């Protein structure tokens, strides 16, 4: 297995991510109002304080496994909005990459004592992963007619 590198995400990482999004991530982005995922990914990145990509090097160049970031929540100075989207390539590297992502939580909490977001309730893998990261779920809600679960983690 090739080593994973964590890098500051650039626009070409976002384009690679959009082209190769996992089905569950693509459905979630569409439910949030972006049937074409690239504008939604770019909007999330632009609203984030930082954005990172987990990549591997292949013979054809760099390949994105996942991209994640942390945005500020408007009007709530103590609340940050973490997000992560992944490609089909994550399957082989899932355990290692998710450990990297979990290691980001303390740095997120240095900036924001409360981390909050939503996840598409139909995306069982993402729901499990967010729970594993130590987030608590709130009551189900709908966004654009799709069931979502709000999640939160406090210091």
Q: What is the CA radius of gyration of the chain?
A: 15
Q: Up-side HSE of residue 72: CA atoms within 13 Å toward CB?
A: 7
pLDDT score at 1 = 72
- CATH number of this structure's domain 5-114, picked from the four choices 1.25.40, 3.30.43, 3.40.630, 3.30.70: 3.40.630
**Residues with Cβ within 8 Å of residue 1, at least 6 apart in sequence:** 92, 93, 96
Domain boundaries, the chain: 5-114
pLDDT score at 102 = 85
Secondary structure (H, E, C), the chain: CCCCEEEECCHHHHHHHHHCECHHHHHHHHHCCCCCHHHHHHHHHHCEEEEEEEEEEECCEEEEEEEEEEEEECCEEEEEEEEEEEECCHHHHHHHHHHHHHHCHHHHHHHCCEEEEEEECCCHHHHHHHHHCCCEECCCEEECCEEEEEEEEEC
pLDDT score at 45 = 98
How would you classify the pairing of strands 61-73 and 76-86?
A: antiparallel
pLDDT score at 9 = 98
pLDDT score at 141 = 98
End-to-end CA, the chain? 35
pLDDT score at 34 = 98
pLDDT tens for the chain, 155 residues: list them.
788 999 999 999 999 999 999 999 999 999 999 999 999 999 999 999 999 999 999 898 899 999 999 999 999 999 999 999 999 998 888 888 778 888 899 999 999 999 999 999 999 999 999 999 999 999 999 999 999 999 999 99
């Amino acid at each position: 297995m090739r080593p994973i590198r964590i890098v500051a995400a650039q626009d070409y990482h976002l384009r690679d991510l959009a082209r190769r999004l996992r089905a569950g991530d693509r459905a979630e982005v569409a439910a949030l109002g972006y049937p074409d995922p690239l504008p939604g990914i770019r909007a999330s990145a632009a609203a984030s304080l930082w954005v990172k990509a987990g990549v591997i090097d292949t013979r054809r160049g760099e390949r994105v496994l996942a991209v994640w970031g942390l945005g500020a929540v408007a009007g709530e100075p103590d609340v940050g909005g973490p997000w992560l989207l992944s490609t089909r390539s994550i399957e082989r590297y899932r355990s290692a990459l998710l450990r990297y992502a979990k290691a980001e939580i303390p740095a997120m909490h240095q900036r924001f004592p409360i981390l909050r977001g939503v996840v598409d309730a139909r995306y069982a893998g993402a729901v499990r992963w967010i729970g594993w990261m130590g987030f608590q779920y709130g009551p189900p809600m709908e966004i654009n007619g799709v069931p979502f679960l709000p999640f939160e983690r406090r210091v």
